[in-house]
Chains A and B, each alone.
Chain A
Amino acid sequence: MTSTGYSSPQARMGFFTDTSVCIGCKACEVACKEWNAVPAGDGPGTDAAAGMDLLGMSYDNTGGLDANTWRHVAFIEQHVPAAAEPSAPVQAGPATAEDLGMPTVGAPRQGDAQENAGVRWLMSSDVCKHCTHAACLDVCPTGALFRTEFDTVVVQEDICNGCGYCVPACPYGVIGKREGDGRAFKCTLCYDRLGSGLQPACATACPTESIQYGELDELRARAEARRRELHDAGVTEARLYGEDPDDGVGGDGAFFLLLDEPEVYGLPPDPVVTTRDLPAMWRMAALSAAGVVAALVGSLLGRR
């Protein structure tokens, strides 16, 4: 029996997204849209009708994960002291760094007037975390959301009635309701590809192996090795996010190596599955219901 309650010979599959090698090319976003036939547009902060928009957030024009964005590449532009600038992580990871011969496009230099100031870029491809304890799945009243044999979390489009409960339940703000369609959509971890032994579309398209697909146990070991490697190279800000099976969601099936605090990437620092407190919630509701009975009996039995 696995921690997700599934008992099958199939190992748990997931993603390890190593953001230290992400070049922000958005191949994953495009490959995901192509394979899954996800419509354009309708990300947070975008003009839904236009479908594509310039958000003025660095090179990010998608904004965030939503019903129509299942992979989202975040572009973080930060002021950093000039001294810290050379620790751009791609160069810092010795063994894996490769000169891809890309044209030198870079974060705009804003520093000359401001003494010692520079700008660094962080790029990260975000995705549904396929939580071990998935709030979206727990609260779905129809059973449309289910856990697959790969221990991933998938919506069945023919069952979802668009109640929208999964949307505020997700502690990462991943799943969304699609305008015009009314149902909820999110990353399926390419459920339709896995069965045929293929990798998910995004992992296949990623040119730098920032997105790695595989057995979760193996990915966790690989991620820890990469974190150590970066620390040894002096990138001490490297940290894993979502890899801990003891965190508030029981660990993510899709986890990350980040180079700053999670909130900088738009990720919650300490997500907890809301249903963890559900027994306490029902207890409070039962107490209140008992209070209603007592109040009614007391009021109606009174004289006059």
Chain B
Amino acid sequence: MSAEGRPDRTPVTTNDSYYGLPIVKEPAWQQPDVPLYLFLGGVAGVSASMAALARPLGRDALAKLGTVTAATGSVASLGALIHDLGRPARFLYMLRVFKPTSPLSVGSWILAPFSALASMSATSVLTGKFRTVGALAGAVAGILGPAMSTYTAVLLADTATPAWHEAYRELPVVFAGSAMTSAAGVALIALPKRDSAPVSRLAAVGATAELAAAHRLRTRLGIISETYRVGRAGSLLKAVEVLTGAGVALTATGRTSRIARALAGGAYLAAGLCTRFGVYAAGVASTRDPKYVVEPQRERRGRV
């Protein structure tokens, strides 16, 4: 390619591609909108379920924090989604049909009620009014929570983007694990030592699940695994390992220290962001070079 990003003067094609141009289109979404939408939705989902469980167990501080995080996160997630639309004023067209074949339709039908319920619950928790309605709304949001933290993986996988589609087995585990560590991260930062034991356990489970699944992304997808190992995605996912490892180490050794807890929480949240931006970057990289489309498909046809 020349300096202007155009093919060199000799216009001869190869047998592998049409002038090296991409075959499938790059995702038409914007950054940071969509990675943020994925991240915030995940944190909100697990936080709502955490709150719904903490309430009957008498962990009031955890319940309150989870409720508020769920509301803030999901409303911000919805905002990022709307901001990303080519026609934001037509957001409600998302709800004009329910289409099980479209993860974005299913997701909108999860996200819209979830954010409404979480907001009701948070309003009630913060004002102390309408407690029954608030608790009920919080409980239903808690039931929707696990779906909130995983549907976005299906949303990405249900595309022709090689790094996403071929990763459909791993992505839900990565996103669910990351959502657990991030939700625990918020609690580690905001809550006193009394509540840190359960959230540290949650973070450890999330971290294990996410790192194991992310390792598979880097090793089990054939040539497509490259996109998770190199470039921007490679660096971001490396950062996830380091940050998550640091978070686990800090919570294991220094749970009594407020500073250690805050640092661990911050590391978990940063890791959660890196996960979404990293997976997004891998998807983009896998569309830019046509070999990620051509080679696996040739193999499938028995032509090497």
Cα distance, A264 to B290, chains bound together (Å): 11
Interface residues of B in 4-35 (CB under 8 A from A): 5-19, 21-29
User: A258-294: contact bitstring with B at CB < 8 Å (1 yes, 0 no)?
Assistant: 0011011111111100110110111011111111110
A277–B15 contact, CB under 8 A? no
A295–B202 contact, CB under 8 A? yes
B161 at the interface (CB under 8 A from A): yes
- Pick the contact of A270 from B26, B202, B301 — CB < 8 Å? B301
- Pick the contact of B297 from A64, A176, A269, A301 — CB < 8 Å? A269
A56 at the interface (CB under 8 A from B): yes
Chain B residues near A144 (CB, 8 Å)? 93
A139–B201 contact, CB under 8 A? no
Contacts A162-B85, A269-B297, A292-B46 given; indicate if A143 touches B24 (C-beta within 8 A): no
User: A125-154: contact bitstring with B at CB < 8 Å (1 yes, 0 no)?
Assistant: 000000000010011111110000000000
Cα distance, A274 to B103, chains bound together (Å): 12
Chain A interface: which of B123-131, B171-179, B231-239?
B171-179
Chain A residue with minimal CB distance to B42?
Answer: A292
**Interchain Cβ contacts within 8 Å, total number:** 274
From residue A93, how far is it (CB to closest CB) to chain B in Å? Answer: 23
- Pick the contact of B87 from A60, A183, A302 — CB < 8 Å? A183
A172–B24 contact, CB under 8 A? yes
User: B221-262: contact bitstring with A at CB < 8 Å (1 yes, 0 no)?
Assistant: 000000000000000000000000000000000000000000
Chain B interface: which of A20-28, A84-92, A163-171, A201-209?
A163-171
A190 at the interface (CB under 8 A from B): no
B270 at the interface (CB under 8 A from A): no
Chain A residues near B119 (CB, 8 Å)? none
A162–B90 contact, CB under 8 A? yes
Chain B residue with minimal CB distance to A79?
Answer: B12
Contacts A288-B150, A292-B180 given; indicate if A142 touches B93 (C-beta within 8 A): yes
- Pick the contact of A55 from B7, B157, B159 — CB < 8 Å? B7
User: B288-304: contact bitstring with A at CB < 8 Å (1 yes, 0 no)?
Assistant: 00100110011011010
A44–B21 contact, CB under 8 A? yes
B132 at the interface (CB under 8 A from A): no
B104–A163 contact, CB under 8 A? yes
A187 at the interface (CB under 8 A from B): no
B297–A182 contact, CB under 8 A? no
Cα distance, A267 to B23, chains bound together (Å): 6
A177–B301 contact, CB under 8 A? no
A173 at the interface (CB under 8 A from B): yes
A74–B18 contact, CB under 8 A? yes
Contacts A141-B102, A168-B160, A274-B165 supplied; 8 other A-B pairs, CB < 8 Å: A138-B102, A161-B87, A163-B84, A163-B104, A164-B86, A271-B160, A293-B49, A299-B205
* 11 CB < 8 A contacts A-B: A77-B11, A161-B85, A167-B28, A173-B23, A173-B25, A266-B21, A271-B160, A284-B154, A284-B173, A295-B202, A295-B205
Query: 4 smallest A-B Cβ distances: which pairs?
Result: A162-B86, A182-B86, A266-B18, A164-B28
* Interface of A toward B, CB cutoff 8 Å: 44-45, 55-58, 60, 63-64, 74, 76-79, 110, 119, 135, 138-144, 159-165, 167-173, 175-177, 181-184, 260-261, 263-271, 274-275, 277-278, 280-282, 284-293, 295-302, 304
